[in-house]
């Protein structure tokens, strides 16, 4: 069902990721010009991620007709596998942003509602700057998911990817100027106009802008979900390095300064938890040679610094699904910091997540949560 007006007008808001999920959605990687060795290694890691999440929340994986049987054979039976065409498998950015409403009807009875926002997608920058030249199938992913779930759909002409926004569920949105103000997204909109759209569609009242995202995150032009996220209202996790010679240091210090001088929608000062980045890590000759360079996708070159970040984790119902990059010191440190930040969640480490970052993202980028609505009586007991 196509909805008129904006989500906020109908009482919808984007919930925080730690609020209850009814399920999680993922795509299935296959394109050989982005995933090395015909996505053989990436598929194994995607299966690990999906399996881990499925222990906490129902899981749906979408695969192309050519890959459905392969995906089905690699995934446990408790995971639903459905056929869907796509250009690539970054469902955080091509899937819908799902919003919820706890509005009450005229009778005073709670009427739980869930709907989805279908943003416009342009492959992270269009024909000149995007990651691949044809994204015509990706344009329909959000609408297909909403159709499968029979959820109302708000369509929006603004170009926006899910990885470029984080919310606290209490009125605050985090994003980066590097991405949302990039001329390859919405050059006809001012910063104020973009902020107004975020408020109208996400149901937020305040947008906190960090100047830049993670160093080397050129594929997405600095998505927030590699740089900074909420751990709970008033508390953020920030990608960090203590190495002042690392180009990441300037970006992290800059973000720390902005956050230290900002408040959220309720007027709270931010508590900032530093989450050290791994590495630096670089693409090897062997890894680059496994990608078939055909000219349709952005080339993967040996020696490229990988945009690896532990902030790119997924919050499930009671679980934290965190990437591990083979950097033992920082892998262990990330798990420790996240265990402290989420004391009521089980931290699940995904070994081999380097395979995902080789293609430009990580666990948060390949997942899309479908929020659940709790009846108002239950809601009050969980607050």
| Catalytic positions, written as ranges | 365
**Ordered DSSP codes for 240-303:** E-S-TTSHHHHHHHHHHHHHHT-B-TTSPBPEEEEEEPP---B--HHHHHTS---SSB----TT
Rounded CA-CA distance 206/266 in Å is 9
> What pairing do the DSSP bridges indicate for beta strands 172-176 and 166-167?
antiparallel
Rounded CA-CA distance 212/180 in Å is 10
Pair of tokens at residue 301? 């070159």
Give the containing element (helix H, strand E) for 118. strand 113-120
In 192-234 the beta strands, taken as DSSP E runs, fall at: 206-210, 228-232
Residues 88 and 291 sit within 8 Å (Cβ to Cβ): no
Is residue 78 reached through a cis peptide bond, with omega within 30 degrees of 0 on the bond before it?
A: no
Q: SS3 of 230, please? A: strand
Rounded CA-CA distance 56/40 in Å is 26
* Block residue for tokens 């959220």: 264
Rounded CA-CA distance 79/73 in Å is 11
CA dihedral of residues 184, 187, 191, 193 (deg, nearest 10): -130
Residues 103 and 376 sit within 8 Å (Cβ to Cβ): no
Question: Using CB atoms within 10 A of its CB, is residue 52 exposed (0-12), middle (13-18) or buried (19+)?
Answer: buried
Report residue 104: phi and psi, to 5°.
-100, 150
Where residue 222 falls (left for φ over 0; alpha for ψ -120 to 50; beta otherwise) is left
């Amino acid at each position: 069902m196509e909805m008129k007006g904006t989500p906020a007008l109908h009482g919808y808001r984007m919930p925080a990721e730690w609020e209850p999920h009814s399920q999680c959605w993922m795509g299935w990687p296959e394109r050989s010009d982005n995933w090395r060795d015909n996505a053989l290694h990436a598929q194994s890691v995607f299966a690990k991620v999906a399996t881990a999440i499925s222990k906490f929340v129902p899981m749906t994986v979408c695969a192309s007709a050519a890959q459905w049987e392969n995906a089905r054979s690699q995934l446990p039976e408790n995971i639903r596998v459905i056929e869907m065409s796509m250009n690539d498998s970054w469902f955080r950015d091509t899937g819908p942003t799902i919003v919820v409403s706890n509005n009450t009807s005229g009778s005073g009875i709670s009427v739980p509602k869930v709907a989805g926002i279908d943003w416009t997608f342009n492959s992270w920058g269009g024909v000149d700057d995007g990651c691949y030249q044809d994204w015509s199938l990706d344009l329909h992913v959000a609408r297909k998911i909403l159709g499968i779930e029979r959820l109302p759909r708000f369509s929006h002409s603004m170009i926006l990817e899910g990885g470029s926004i984080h919310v606290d569920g209490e009125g605050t949105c985090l994003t980066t100027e590097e991405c949302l103000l990039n001329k390859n997204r919405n050059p006809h909109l001012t910063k104020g106009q973009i902020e107004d759209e975020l408020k109208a569609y996400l149901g937020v009242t305040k947008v906190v802008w960090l100047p830049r995202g993670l160093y080397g995150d050129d594929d997405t032009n600095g998505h927030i979900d590699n740089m900074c996220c909420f751990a709970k209202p008033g508390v953020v996790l920030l990608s960090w390095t203590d190495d002042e010679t690392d180009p990441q240091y300037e970006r992290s210090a800059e973000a720390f300064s902005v956050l230290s001088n900002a408040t959220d929608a309720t007027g709270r000062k931010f508590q900032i938890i530093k989450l050290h980045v791994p590495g630096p890590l670089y693409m090897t000759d062997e890894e680059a040679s496994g990608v078939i360079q055909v000219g349709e996708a952005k080339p993967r070159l040996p020696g490229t610094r990988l945009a690896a970040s532990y902030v790119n984790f997924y919050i499930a119902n009671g679980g934290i699904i965190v990437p591990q990059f083979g950097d033992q010191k920082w892998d262990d440190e990330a798990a420790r910091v996240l265990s402290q930040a989420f004391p009521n969640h089980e931290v699940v480490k995904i070994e081999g997540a380097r395979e995902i970052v080789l293609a430009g993202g990580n666990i948060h980028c390949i997942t899309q949560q479908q929020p659940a609505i709790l009846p108002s009586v239950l809601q009050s007991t969980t607050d």
